[in-house]
Chain A
Amino acid sequence: EVQLVESGGGLIQPGGSLRLSCAASGFTVSSNYMNWVRQAPGKGLEWVAVIYNTGTTYYADSVKGRFTISRDNSKNTLYLQMNNLRADDTAVYFCARGYCSSTSCHPVWFDPWGQGTLVTVSS
């Protein structure tokens, strides 16, 4: 069974750093497109970053230069290093795999998703 489990969220002061983890099972992270998507409380969805199987990465402008997406192949785990956090980074952070249909995989159609981890940036 394909499963994604996020961890690492919590309360952090503005300007602080946090690293989120997304442990995968049932598939190999390094062979897939992997994303982070966030959702502020009571709000809509915002794509954050993607890492390709090749290691190529892309970021939303709102996090570029502050967040880094990476993976540990030996642990089959995806990460999001978040630095210089701001109040508007407060959200539930989901990891999501790029969806694979019967014919191909797509980097930024998102499925499946993890259950999310809440990051609260506040003093």
Chain B
Amino acid sequence: EIVLTQSPATLSLSPGERATLSCRASQSISRSLAWYQQKPGQAPRLLIFEASNRATGIPARFGGSGSGTDFTLTITSLEPEDFAVYYCQQRSNWPPITFGQGTRLEIK
């Protein structure tokens, strides 16, 4: 099973700042990675698929990069609504499909 490790566990930033979230895979997964945003009491929302493709309706301030084992989600200028938990997910050689443990992005 491919393990995804996200860092940091918690990221404290202010609106307008740049956020950089990391996801590392235990083995190469090419570009088979997605990012989700989840707000309290809500279902997750797909932000990025295939490492760098924005899903429909996702603002341009969200960007994904990486391949192999190291991936990054960047939010260029944080808006108040961006403070949430972010998960990465892989689909290489599935099943199983696995998620990272999440990064909580909180207001500083």
Binding site for B on A (CB under 8 A): 44-47, 58-61, 94, 96, 99, 101-102, 106, 108-116
> Nearest CB to that of A99 among chain B residues?
B46
Partner of B49, one of A94, A101, A102, A114: A101
A-B interface contact total, Cβ < 8 Å: 62
Partner of B43, one of A47, A59, A99, A113: A113
> Nearest CB to that of B102 among chain A residues?
A44
Interface residues of B in 85-107 (CB under 8 A from A): 87, 89, 91, 94-102
* Interface SS majority for chain B: loop
Indicate if the CB atoms of B101 and A44 lie closer than 8 Å. Answer: yes
Tell me which residues across on chain A come within 8 A of B102, comparing CB atoms.
44
> Is the interface on chain B under 10, 10 to 19, 20 to 34, or 35 or more residues?
20 to 34
Q: How far is the CA of A107 from the CA of B94 in the complex (A)?
A: 11
* Smallest beta-carbon distance B92→chain A, Å: 11
* Smallest beta-carbon distance A104→chain B, Å: 11
Partner of B46, one of A47, A102, A109, A114: A109
Binding site for A on B (CB under 8 A): 34, 36, 42-46, 49, 53, 55-56, 87, 89, 91, 94-102
Tell me which residues across on chain B come within 8 A of A58, comparing CB atoms.
94-95
Residue contacts A-B, CB under 8 angstroms, 21 given: A45-B87, A47-B89, A47-B95, A47-B98, A47-B99, A58-B94, A59-B95, A60-B95, A60-B96, A99-B49, A99-B55, A101-B49, A101-B55, A102-B56, A109-B89, A110-B44, A110-B46, A112-B43, A113-B43, A113-B45, A114-B43
